[in-house]
Structure 1
Amino acid sequence: MNTQALSTARDQGFFAWYHALTAKERRTFWSCKVGYALDAMDTQFLSFVIPTLIASWGLSKGDAGLIGTVTLLTSAAGGWIAGILSDRIGRVKALQITILWFAFFTVLCGLAQNFTQLLWARGLMGFGMGGEWTAGAILIGEVIRARDRGKAVGMVQAGWAIGWGVSALLYALMFSLLPPEWAWRSLFLLGILPALFVIFVRRFVDEPEVYVAVKKQKAAGQPSFWQIFSPKMITVTLRAALLTTGAQGGYYAITTWLPTFLKTERHLTVLGTGGYLAMVIVGSYVGYIVSAFLTDYLGRKKNFILFAVGSLAIALAYTRLPVTDAVMLFLGFPLGFCVSGVFSGMGSFLTELFPTAIRGSGQGFSYNMGRAVGSLFPLLIGMSSQSMALGEAIGVFAGAAYGVMILAALTLPETAGKQLES
């Protein structure tokens, strides 16, 4: 095949959108993707070391759950604050600050000497974790052209699955080389790595042109956070918050309680194996990628509805169908595929819903309000399981969450291909 034919095939292929990016856009793409992966890596360390902390510190499951809940709530607050900051000081600066923040407090987690210190360190780390998502989603959404925005933003968010996989590998490595009391600390101390990545972001990533243009036009004054609740924007803001509440409420309902249900009521053993975790992580990454392309091909709304229905179906399959360990192992793939794919189009959709001057405030509030409300779903399921079967409670709350998501998607405008104003 000659050079011209190769060029034509490349321009029409699966990665044609990537080849069309400028050098500046590619640097932004990779900085956001690597940032998401490092964010996920630091975040997922806790899930792997909880059994060790329970054994060595005598933590109760309630203590471990409290750390997780506090992290979710502070991450919601951090994403909200980072959105406001990104409108005021810039998307890139907000990204740098949030990465440094979660790296610093992840290291402090590794130095904690007791439960109280770990709770505080992990809670403060959550501010940076949530803030990084908001700053990164806005940055990549504004840099990429309209026709490819869904694919690019979704591919960036797929970095979360990569970071999750890296954390699992590091866990296996550290616990094979070191005694448990040192291994768990070494994982958190590796959290310093994202701080080094900020050097790259600072040197090679620029503010989006659309943001710079709007900033110059409005140089006389700072945008107000409260503009997202103006008569023109309030219904969009609230419906966007309902959309994200459904997505995250369903995700937390399924991923928090499903392993407990399968272990205690179905007595399956495959849940604790590396093979099952690998299936979920691989399914998650593939779900992100497929959803990234579908959100441009089908449109934002249809893609949300498709993956919401798929997530609900997989939840019902897990809780209603009699399954063996072998079947459960393979069901890990569609579980990761559906519940992660829901989020792939979220960043591009929220970017397109809000005008540039208040995009950070709107995106930060709506996504993280959904995270805050969604984080209550595991608690509500636990309370409801006192009067109904746990599997039934999971199905009820997952169904309600994804139902809310579908209704919100139906009422919001379709934004695929929308040009961002400058």
Structure 2
Amino acid sequence: MSFLQSGYGWGTFIASAAWYAISSTNPLGQNSWRLMFLLGALPALFVLYLRRGVDESEKWLSAVRKQQWVAEAGSGNPASKPLKRPFPLKQLFASAESRRRILLSLLLSIVTSIGLWAVSSWLPSYATSLAQSEGLANASAWGAKVSIAFTIGTIVAFTIAGFVVDAIGRRPFMCLTFAGSLLMTIVSYRLVSSAQTMLWVAPIDGFFTLGCAYVWMAIYPAELFPSSVRASAISSVFNGARMIAWVFPILAGSMIHSFGGISRAALCIGSVYALGIVVPWFLPETINQPLPD
């Protein structure tokens, strides 16, 4: 699952490299940024392949045939199960333990998303402002370089995270991930004062704030919920946070103005990572445990 999640990093890397090429050449002048939207739409074509070329999970089909509706493994009275499959989201909130797991997982996802979109996504702009203050030539290119460096760190994290998670456990991994994210936010926006230095710091930042901080969502939720609702749980955890975090890119300008600059805004909002250090310990450890079915 860690290797699978690396596709997120490779996609970001391709996008960063494409923007570096576009921003350096400006083929459409001030409208060159529009080309990024065209490039971003192309992956949607892969949906056609996914619909036609990927089979349904046999484990999921078996769970549906056996009417394994109870979201909390080992709970409930089988005789009282409804014959018709309940709505998956309703199943996720059907028991106290299931509700606790989905809500705590969602909270961790919110921490991850806010940290990425309200903190790490400002790194390129911050690097550009540093380059401008230093009088470096082509300051905007420094933002693209930092973005590429950030993504390289992300890909490294995605590649090795699975081995680390299986070695130390899910909860320690997440605790260390968010502690590293908090530390790198302080380093990036408090201690770094030049674009050149940011180029070296960005991969470490990306390793924690995008790499490790996102890969747990591909690994951990799958081990917290049974087959009949596993996909719905993973989707809810991964995407539910976006219903909250989407406002941060829109409010970025006003937030930066209110806090008195990118660095202050990032440091204040980055404190959300402290939640990520504590919350994992309220979820069960699933290392070396069978999937709940």
TM-score (norm 2): 0.78
- Kindly report the root-mean-square deviation, in angstroms, between the aligned alpha carbons of the 2 structures: 3.1
The residue that corresponds to 2:77 in the other structure is none
User: Deviation at 1:319?
Assistant: 1.9
1:272 aligns with 2:141: yes
**Pairing partner for 2:273 from 402, 409, 413:** 402
How far 1:393 moved relative to its partner?
3.2
Contact kept, 8 Å, 2:156 with 2:207, in 1: the verdict is yes
Structure 1 range deviating more: 283-292 or 196-205:
196-205
Measure how far apart 1:203 and its partner are: 4.6
Q: Does 2:79 match 1:230?
A: no
| Structure 1 residue identity aligned to 2:268 | V
Match of 1:89 in 2: none
CA separation in 2, counterparts of 1:159 and 1:192? Answer: 16
Q: CA deviation at 1:193?
A: 4.3
Q: What code does the residue aligned with 2:121 have? A: T
The equivalent of 1:246 in structure 2 is 111
What is the CA-CA distance between 1:158 and the residue it aligns to? 1.0
**What corresponds to 2:225 in structure 1?**
354
CA-to-aligned-CA distance 1:284-304 (integer Å, 9 cap, x gap):
111221223211221111111
1:418 shift after superposition: 3.1
Q: Which residue of 2 is the match for residue 155 of structure 1?
A: 3
Counterparts of 1:16-415 in structure 2, within 5 Å, are 153-171=1-19, 176=25, 178-180=27-29, 187-190=36-39, 193-194=42-43, 196-218=45-67, 220-224=83-87, 225-232=89-96, 233-264=98-129, 267=133, 272-273=141-142, 274-340=144-210, 341-377=212-248, 379=251, 382-383=254-255, 385-386=257-258, 390-399=262-271, 401-415=272-286
Aligned-pair identity in percent equals 26
Q: Return the offset for 1:380.
A: 8.0
Whole-Å separation in 2 of the counterparts to 1:353 and 1:300:
11
Q: Deviation of residue 165 (structure 1)?
A: 2.2
Deviation, 1:362, is 2.6
* Mean Cα deviation higher: 233-242 or 375-384: 375-384
Distance 1:380 1:276 in 2: 19
Q: Higher relative contact order at CA 8 Å, sep ≥6: structure 1 or structure 2?
A: 2
In 1, the alpha carbon distance for the partners of 2:48 and 2:56 equals 15
Q: 1:368 to 1:194 in 2, by over 3 A?
A: closer
Task: Determine the C-alpha separation between the residues in 1 that align with 2:39 and 2:140.
Answer: 27
| Matched residue type, 1:308 | F
Q: Distance in 2 between matches of 1:280 and 1:211?
A: 37
Checking the alignment, whether the CA contact within 8 Å between 1:308 and 1:402 is kept in structure 2 is: yes
Whether the 8 Å CA contact 1:240–1:367 is kept in 2: the answer is no
Q: For 1:200 and 1:258, how far apart are their aligned partners in 2?
A: 35
Write out per-residue CA displacement over residues 79-113 of structure 1, whole angstroms, 9 at most, x where no aligned residue: xxxxxxxxxxxxxxxxxxxxxxxxxxxxxxxxxxx
Aligned residues: 269
Q: How far does residue 272 in structure 1 lie from its aligned partner after superposition? A: 3.4
The answer to whether the 8 A contact 1:250-1:374 is kept is: no
Counterparts in 2 of 1:416 and 1:192: CA distance versus 1, 3 Å: same
Paired amino acid for 1:278: I
Gap runs ≥5 in structure 1: 1-152
Quote the Cα distance in structure 1 between the aligned partners of 2:192 and 2:38: 42
Structure 1 residues 361-397: Cα deviation after superposition (integer angstroms, max 9, x where no partner): 3333333332223344564894475255642332122
Q: Which amino acid aligns with 1:312?
A: L
User: Alpha carbons of 1:412 and 1:385: their partners in 2 closer, same or farther (altered >3 Å)?
Assistant: farther
C-alpha spacing 1:307/1:410, structure 2 compared with 1 (3 Å): same
User: Cα 1:343–1:183, aligned 2, differ >3 Å: closer, same or farther?
Assistant: same
Cα contact 2:20–2:145 (8 A) shared by 1: no
Deviation at 1:318, TM superposition (A): 1.6
- Judged with a 3 Å threshold, the aligned counterparts in structure 2 of structure 1 residues 314 and 361 are, in CA distance, closer, same or farther, namely same
Shift of 1:409: 0.7
C-alpha separation in 2, matches of 1:275 and 1:193: 23
Confirm or deny: 8 A CA contact 1:241 1:369 kept in the other structure: yes
Amino acid in structure 2 at the alignment position of 1:286: V
Give the corresponding residue for 2:73.
none
Q: Name the SS of the counterpart of 2:241 in structure 1.
A: helix
**Distance in structure 1 (CA, Å) of the matches to 2:252 and 2:262:** 11
Native 8 Å contact 2:127 2:195 kept in 1: no
Distance 1:180 1:213 in 2: 56
